[in-house]
């Protein structure tokens, strides 16, 4: 708070009339009251900002938790898909392996038959 009485007295001592000094002191007081923040204004603003910060923090925490939950669900879904694909690939690999073994066995039997026939024919 501005001390208008002291300002007014100092202005009078500097040569202004009492009414001039009072008018200047009054205008200074009006300007400072309307333009400058008081401790109470600052405290109110601080409390308001703290409240807003807490609300934003809570909101962000909630959103982060929702994203975590969503990502966890998606990751689990992908894991299930990967396991299914892996099982299908293993099944196909076994089938391919069995088919290859049958083909090789058939070729060996065929070659043996061919060699046996050739031996009989040329002997």
What is the full per-residue pLDDT of the chain (123 aa) written as tens digits?
Answer: 678 889 889 999 999 999 999 999 898 888 887 777 778 889 999 999 999 999 999 999 999 999 999 999 999 999 999 999 999 999 999 999 999 999 999 999 999 999 999 999 988
Question: Measured between alpha carbons, how far is 72 from 112 in angstroms, rounded to an integer?
Answer: 59
Strands (E), the chain: none
Q: What burial class does residue 28 get, using C-beta atoms within 10 Å of its C-beta: 0-12 exposed, 13-18 middle, 19+ buried?
A: middle
Q: Are 42 and 55 in contact (CB under 8 A)?
A: no
Short-list 34, 32, 30, 12, CA closest to 21: 12
Both tokens of 54, joined, read 């807490």
């Amino acid at each position: 708070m501005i001390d208008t009485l002291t300002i007014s007295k100092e202005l009078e001592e500097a040569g202004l009339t009492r009414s001039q000094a009072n008018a200047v002191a009054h205008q200074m007081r009006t300007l400072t009251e309307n333009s400058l923040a008081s401790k109470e204004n600052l405290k109110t603003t601080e409390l308001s900002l703290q409240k807003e910060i807490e609300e934003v923090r809570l909101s962000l925490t909630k959103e982060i938790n929702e994203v975590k939950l969503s990502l966890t669900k998606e990751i689990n879904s992908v894991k299930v898909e990967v396991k299914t694909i892996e099982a299908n690939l293993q099944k196909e690999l076994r089938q391919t392996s069995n088919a290859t073994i049958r083909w090789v066995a058939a070729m060996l039997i065929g070659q043996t038959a061919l060699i046996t026939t050739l031996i009989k024919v040329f002997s």
